[in-house]
A and B are shown apart, each in its own frame.
Chain A
Amino acid sequence: MLSRTANNLYWIARYMERADTVARLLDVGSRISLIPSEHGYRSEWDSLLQASGMAEGFTAKYGDPVQRNLESWLFFDRDNPSSVASCLTAARENARIVRTAMTAQVWDALNMAFQELRQLERLERSTLDQSTLTDWVTRQSALVRGAIDANLLRDDGYNFLNLGYYLERADNTARLLDVKYYVLLPRLDFVGSGLDNYQWSTLLRAMGAQRAFHWAYGGEITAGKIADFLILNRQSPRALITCIAGADNHLARLAKCYRKDGAAQERVRAMLSDLESETIDRIFDEGLHEYLSRFIGSVAELGSVIHEVYLGGEIS
């Protein structure tokens, strides 16, 4: 497959996953803003913007986090490269470039998402409530994902798409966790308090995982359990270990398909075996932030190795 085609497929998946995460953030932010704030801590919106790395751009353009402006920024604003509109447009444009590498149904799902987005953009904003927007995005991303799973040839293109999904998701989960620790919780003595738990469960909600968490762990929500769920539990679809295992699987398939095992496979195997031997206590001993920073760095490095080996089209 052309390197450029593989690169476009990889980015289609990354943009779709990012749009999904941003829509979930929007949902969580709005829910929190419905709960009366008595404790006088900083705006939860700010933490969510920090989480997604979109805070600076927002402040520069709008200043105070007013709900309506936040919706604009996270959903519609083309100046925000991570907004839902930017991500869906980029995904669809990438898909248009590589239409020959996907089935009609996958293209259809991406193209329809884009066409509907344009209709939404034309509507009077007061007629759109936030939950409609969020539901719409999660539905679109599910349609695309479903079309890929149901129809796409299990060839190298499928593996590149999935690498994009897993790497983006690993990055997003790690960032959300990291922000929880540093922004949501300004003072260490809140750890284990009712407020702390409330904020942790907010994070679970952001990932659409609070019920899954209860099924998996039952009972009380603690920082340790949630971190375990989102980092080391293979049952959790967003856990770091699940994402890295997924990347490992698809890189292994590529190695088989091309009869060539290399740097990308080595690196992902090392990441996976680190995660497999890790415990939550050790992660907390190292410091969650330190651990996550290291992890985000490794994901980025894995991304550049994949790029070098497969997507850059260098003469080997």
Chain B
Amino acid sequence: MGVFFDEMNGSGGGTRAPYARLEEWLATMPKELRSLKQAEAEALFRRIGITFAVYGEGGDPDRLIPFDMFPRVFSGAEWARLDRGVKQRAKALNMFLVDVYGRGEIIRAGRVPANLVYQNAAYEKAAVGFVPPKGVYSHIVGIDLVRTGPEEFFVLEDNCRTPSGVSYMLENREIMMRMFPGLFRENRIEPIDSYAEILRRTLASVAPAKCQGDPKVVILTPGHFNSAYYEHSFLADLMGVELVEGQDLFVDGEFVYARTTEGPKRVDVIYRRIDDAFLDPLCFRPDSMLGVPGLMDVYRAGGVSICSAPGAGVADDKAIYTYVPEMIRFYLGEEPILNNVPTWKCAERDDLKYVLDNLSELVVKEVHGSGGYGMLVGPTASKAEIKAFRAQLIANPSNYIAQPTLALSTVPTFVDEGVAPRHVDLRPYCLVGERIELVKGGLTRVALREGSLVVNSSQGGGVKDTWVLAE
């Protein structure tokens, strides 16, 4: 396993500084305590109700995401660089969105192909010509990062619509603090609990011009059958804002109102956790019961803000992804701080040929896929799987991109046999409103199966607390 960079042990040169205290902790922890604490953590998660509801797949409808007690740690300096890189990217992505729904300068300049944007399924015609308040389309940008060496960070993908998982970031921390207060006394760990406050401020800062007085912010959820429902209610609770479903809202004239026990109450900002297609049955899918009829008209007339804005998805498409470094250069005149993973676009003939010739070494993903579905991990796939995937790829090449398998870094993780390295990624959550802000932390996801590179919770991944040490 020597080829992987280990966050704690580096490339074999001894324990890295940020992990020094944890090494001691690990060495002196009795084995019985370990399983006791693990059971305690699980009981806490179950009790608080932090579950990942999966309906219609059989089994436990309230599935727990496995929580690993061994944290992942960043030094202050490492984090400072990630912080700058993530903000730079979130800023460029938003400028790109305003541009492609406006004059399309980046396309005119020949830096991004027009068809990738205008023929993109996520390109929202209803948003053309509209500039949302403060010029922000994507207010919560979740950027998935992996590390391959001491200084090498790569962006795997950008999530500009409704990135989830932030409740795990916050709850993992709560549970670690409750179980191991000693660790927090010995390590100087930056707090993350201002997240909800920053989110509320961010959402309020993009209230529409017609808003009078304090902006009324709500979170719009598809309902309690949604897998992320816990997160929706958790965030609403932390911010002290209403958690609403489509049926709770209605449009009357120029505004959106909530149905309350005291009659209709005006709503100014909607943090929606439902997809574009379900927002407004009059504008999008007529069969949807989740949204609010007439919402888009009010939105375009400046009566309400929608976060993230409809159409933001065109920036987090996996084909557009390859152009993000270009966006950073074009809009900001800066060099990207965070690298992209080299990517072959199967829509292009030469790239497709390369991909077909090297399938067993590549990771191939659907352009619009998510959650680890519809992808091929070449090195671990069987011949039959590769063969089947090849056929799909040839049938619809523009639906796919391919990347080399990265040597994802590992972090020590509690497994049945003891402690072993497991691959991780990281999702920090960047908030974009009047200001661009980031708490010092993120969600570390860990692939619990030995050798697995797939960290998605839907594919058996777990989570860890993520620490940034104070300098």
Contacts and interface: CB of A to CB of B under 8 A. Distances in A.
User: Which of A2, A3, A5, A311 gathers the greatest number of chain B CB atoms within 10 Å?
Assistant: A2
Interface stretch (A47-55, A56-64, A107-115): A107-115
Interface stretch (B109-117, B156-164, B237-245): B237-245
B45 to A, nearest CB: 12
B237 A2 contact: no
Contacts of A108: 47
Given A96-B49, A315-B263, A2 B248 contact: yes
A311 B223 CA distance: 18
Interface in B398-415: none
Contacts of A99: 49, 233, 237
B261 interface: yes
Contact of A2 (B223, B229, B233, B258): B258
Given A3-B248, A4-B247, A97-B224, A313 B260 contact: yes
Interface in A2-30: 2-6
A310 interface: yes
Contacts of A97: 223-224
B111 to A, nearest CB: 45
Contacts of B264: 315-316
B308 to A, nearest CB: 22
Contact of B263 (A93, A254, A311, A316): A316
23 contacts: A2-B244, A2-B261, A3-B260, A4-B245, A4-B247, A4-B248, A5-B242, A96-B49, A96-B229, A96-B233, A97-B223, A99-B237, A100-B233, A100-B242, A112-B47, A254-B261, A258-B261, A258-B262, A313-B248, A313-B259, A315-B250, A315-B259, A316-B263
A96 B224 contact: yes
Nearest to B43: A115
A237 to B, nearest CB: 27
B455 to A, nearest CB: 27
A260 B48 CA distance: 37
A118 to B, nearest CB: 9
A256 to B, nearest CB: 13
A310 B229 CA distance: 25
A6 B223 CA distance: 16
Contacts of B244: 2
A310 B250 contact: no
A96 to B, nearest CB: 6
Interface of B: 46-49, 223-224, 229, 233, 236-237, 242-245, 247-248, 250, 252, 258-264
A2 B242 contact: yes
Given A97-B223, A156-B261, A315-B264, 18 more contacts: A2-B248, A3-B248, A4-B247, A4-B248, A6-B261, A96-B49, A96-B229, A99-B49, A99-B233, A99-B237, A100-B243, A107-B49, A111-B49, A112-B47, A115-B46, A310-B261, A315-B250, A315-B252
A4 B236 CA distance: 15
A1 interface: yes
Contacts of B263: 315-316
A310 B259 CA distance: 10
B226 to A, nearest CB: 11
A160 B260 CA distance: 13
Contacts of B248: 2-4, 313
B338 to A, nearest CB: 36
User: Which of A1, A100, A260, A314 gathers the greatest number of chain B CB atoms within 10 Å?
Assistant: A100
Nearest to B233: A99
Contacts of B258: 2
Contacts of A2: 242, 244, 248, 258-261
Interface of A: 1-6, 93, 96-97, 99-100, 104, 107-108, 111-112, 115, 156, 160, 254, 258, 260, 310-311, 313-316
Contacts of A4: 245, 247-248, 259
Nearest to A312: B259
User: Which of A5, A108, A260, A314 gathers the greatest number of chain B CB atoms within 10 Å?
Assistant: A5
Nearest to A4: B248
B268 to A, nearest CB: 16
Nearest to B242: A2
Contacts of A104: 48
B207 to A, nearest CB: 20
Nearest to A159: B261
Contacts of B237: 99-100
A5 B242 CA distance: 10
Contacts of A310: 261
A104 B233 CA distance: 13
A103 to B, nearest CB: 10
Contacts of B245: 4
A265 B409 CA distance: 65
A283 B223 CA distance: 48
Nearest to B236: A100
A107 B233 CA distance: 13
B252 A93 contact: no
A111 B46 CA distance: 9
B52 to A, nearest CB: 13
B272 to A, nearest CB: 16
B261 A311 contact: yes
Contacts of A160: 261
Contacts of B261: 1-3, 6, 156, 160, 254, 258, 310-311
Nearest to A107: B49
B42 to A, nearest CB: 12
A44 to B, nearest CB: 38
Nearest to A8: B224
A19 to B, nearest CB: 20
User: Which of B46, B48, B237, B259 gathers the greatest number of chain A CB atoms within 10 Å?
Assistant: B259
User: Which of B236, B250, B261, B263 gathers the greatest number of chain A CB atoms within 10 Å?
Assistant: B261
Contacts of A5: 242
Contacts of A112: 47
Contacts of B233: 96, 99-100
Contacts of A107: 49
Nearest to A258: B262
Contacts of B223: 97
A315 B258 CA distance: 10
A58 to B, nearest CB: 27
Contacts of A315: 250, 252, 259, 263-264
Contacts of A93: 224
B136 to A, nearest CB: 26
A3 B257 CA distance: 12
Nearest to A160: B261
A98 to B, nearest CB: 8
Contacts of B250: 315
Contacts of B224: 93, 96-97
